[in-house]
């Protein structure tokens, strides 16, 4: 049995090595490292895949979120509603831009932002909502868009963990996550569902004006070379990464399917284990399982992690400290917030290995060891 990893990028590379090697070499041979034809080809292919008018590639997912918020023309002190139960990048960029992150609760089943919690956090200063499609499942976008329309708020989707996920509206319309709000942001960090071999990210939108602004901001605020209209930054996807992403985009649905099969295996294995709640799947979203995250009940999580580590099974806690409890945000007084569901989840979640090349032997071993640990602690 291969060594079990949270994400096994070497096994994945071995499967696509000939194609990847040729693609990387051809960029090197042409020496078009920045903004080469691979970048525009990838952009078009991603636009087609997501069924959206504009994709604007950038340097990483954090930049994507920052540039998206810059493009909305928000002013310092404006409030942005966002879940506390997320990766720090979602909320950090708000503080960086002088905006006020307003942390709200997530749904205890889906782990995604709770629409009712959004509603009660709205003030006259609220300008935007940033939902996160956490672990690969869509937030409740229909309710979120309804609230956004009612209060005239922008919606920026943090789609770093859910590229390829479909959301179905009540009338049956299907859309990809990231294409529902005003702007969608994603990351191509190597371990993401669509990952490159370094850093990368992208924004997408159907709004021509926003797309133009995003492009300018990501390129030093230029409208024309050496004419800088607004303060921007330098955020680019390089050609080697784009060449790799083109190959992996053509396999994204198969990759997500492989993840779904892993989840199905775990779900069945843990079906009758009382101490474990397997991931909830909302009926209006499919789930692309960026993470496979359990909720534990009556189990010492540290002990389970240590036990698994002894068997060479890695596991992770995403995330041990929610945003509102981070020192970084103490100036916002958020440490005093009462978010009981977020705190409750923070103490109970554990993510098991999931990736595109997992073998049944590995899955059986992991599931058996988790169950053995639970049996032992019961005695």
Ligand X SMILES: *Cc1c(COP(=O)(O)O)cnc(C)c1O
What six digits make up the tokens of 246? 């083109």
86 binds ligand X (CB under 6 A): yes
Closer to ligand X by Cβ: residue 60 or 315:
60
List strand residue ranges (DSSP E) for the chain, in order.
Answer: 54-58, 79-83, 100-104, 126-129, 154-158, 166-168, 174-176, 183-187, 201-205, 222-224, 227-228, 276-277, 292-296, 349-352
Cα separations in angstroms, 328 against 74, 83, 324: 21, 16, 9
> Binders of ligand X among 197-226, rule CB under 6 A?
199, 201
Taking the complex as a whole, the smallest distance from the CB of residue 189 to ligand X amounts, in Å, to 4
Taking the complex as a whole, the smallest distance from the CB of residue 303 to ligand X amounts, in Å, to 27
Closer to ligand X by Cβ: residue 61 or 270:
61
Closer to ligand X by Cβ: residue 90 or 285:
90
Residue 295, CB half-sphere, CA atoms under 13 Å: how many? 15
Closer to ligand X by Cβ: residue 165 or 374:
165
Taking the complex as a whole, the smallest distance from the CB of residue 160 to ligand X amounts, in Å, to 3
110 binds ligand X (CB under 6 A): no
337 binds ligand X (CB under 6 A): no
Nearest to 357 by CA among 254, 287, 288, 279: 254
138 binds ligand X (CB under 6 A): no
**Residues whose CB is less than 8 angstroms from the CB of residue 101 and which lie 6 or more positions away in sequence, other chains included:** 80, 82, 91, 94, 95, 323, 329, 332, 334
Count of residues of this chain found to bind ligand X when the rule CB under 6 A is applied? 15
Q: Which residue has the CB atom at the shortest distance from ligand X?
A: 61
89 binds ligand X (CB under 6 A): yes
> Binders of ligand X among 140-199, rule CB under 6 A?
158, 160-161, 187, 189, 199
Q: Which of 12, 43, 90, 342 binds ligand X (CB under 6 A)?
A: 90
Q: What is the DSSP string of 67-85?
A: HHHHHTT--TT-EEEEESS
Cα separations in angstroms, 325 against 92, 103, 140, 336, 360: 13, 10, 25, 8, 39
132 binds ligand X (CB under 6 A): yes
Taking the complex as a whole, the smallest distance from the CB of residue 227 to ligand X amounts, in Å, to 29
Taking the complex as a whole, the smallest distance from the CB of residue 293 to ligand X amounts, in Å, to 13
For residues 94 and 80, is the Cβ–Cβ distance under 8 A? yes
Q: 158 — phi, psi (to 5°)? A: -90, 100
Residue 376, H or E segment: helix 360-378
**Residues whose CB is less than 8 angstroms from the CB of residue 48 and which lie 6 or more positions away in sequence, other chains included:** none
Closer to ligand X by Cβ: residue 5 or 187:
187
Closer to ligand X by Cβ: residue 217 or 374:
217
Taking the complex as a whole, the smallest distance from the CB of residue 208 to ligand X amounts, in Å, to 26
293 binds ligand X (CB under 6 A): no
Interface segment toward ligand X; rule CB under 6 A; list 31-39, 83-91, 211-219, 348-356: 83-91
Taking the complex as a whole, the smallest distance from the CB of residue 157 to ligand X amounts, in Å, to 10
> Binders of ligand X among 54-73, rule CB under 6 A?
60-62
Positions that interact with ligand X (CB under 6 A): 60-62, 86-87, 89-90, 132, 158, 160-161, 187, 189, 199, 201
């Amino acid at each position: 049995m291969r060594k079990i990893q949270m994400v096994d990028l070497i096994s994945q590379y071995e499967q696509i090595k000939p194609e990847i090697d040729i693609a990387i070499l051809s960029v090197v041979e042409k020496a078009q490292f920045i903004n080469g034809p691979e970048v525009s080809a990838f952009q078009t292919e991603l636009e087609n895949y997501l069924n959206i008018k504009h994709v604007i590639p950038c340097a990483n997912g954090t930049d994507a979120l920052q540039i998206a918020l810059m493009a909305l023309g928000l002013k310092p002190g404006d409030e942005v509603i966002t879940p506390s139960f997320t990766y720090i990048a979602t909320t950090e960029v708000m503080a960086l831009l002088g905006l006020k992150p307003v942390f709200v609760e997530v749904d205890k089943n889906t782990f995604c932002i709770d629409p009712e919690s959004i509603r009660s956090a709205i003030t006259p200063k609220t300008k935007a909502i940033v939902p996160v499609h956490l672990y690969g499942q869509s937030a409740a976008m229909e309710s979120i868009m309804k609230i956004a329309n009612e209060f005239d708020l922008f919606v920026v989707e943090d789609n770093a963990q859910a590229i390829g996920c479909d959301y179905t509206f009540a009338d049956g319309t299907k859309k990809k996550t990231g294409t529902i709000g005003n702007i969608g942001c994603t990351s191509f960090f190597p371990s993401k569902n669509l990952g490159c071999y370094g850093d990368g990210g992208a924004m997408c939108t159907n709004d021509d004006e926003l797309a133009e602004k995003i492009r300018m901001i990501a390129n030093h605020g230029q409208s024309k070379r050496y004419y800088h209209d607004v303060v921007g930054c330098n955020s680019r996807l390089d050609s080697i990464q784009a060449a790799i992403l083109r190959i992996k985009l053509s396999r994204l649905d198969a990759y997500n399917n492989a993840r779904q099969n892993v989840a199905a295996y775990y779900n069945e294995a843990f079906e009758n284990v009382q101490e474990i709640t397997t991931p909830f799947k909302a009926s209006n979203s499919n789930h692309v399982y960026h993470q496979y995250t359990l909720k534990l009940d009556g189990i010492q999580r540290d002990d389970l992690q240590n036990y698994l580590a002894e068997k060479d099974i890695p596991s992770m806690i995403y995330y041990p400290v929610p945003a509102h409890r981070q020192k970084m945000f103490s100036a916002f007084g958020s440490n005093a917030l009462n978010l009981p569901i977020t705190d409750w989840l923070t103490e109970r979640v554990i993510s098991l290995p999931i990736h595109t090349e997992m073998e049944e032997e590995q899955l059986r071993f992991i599931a058996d060891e988790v169950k053995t640990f639970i049996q032992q602690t019961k005695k």
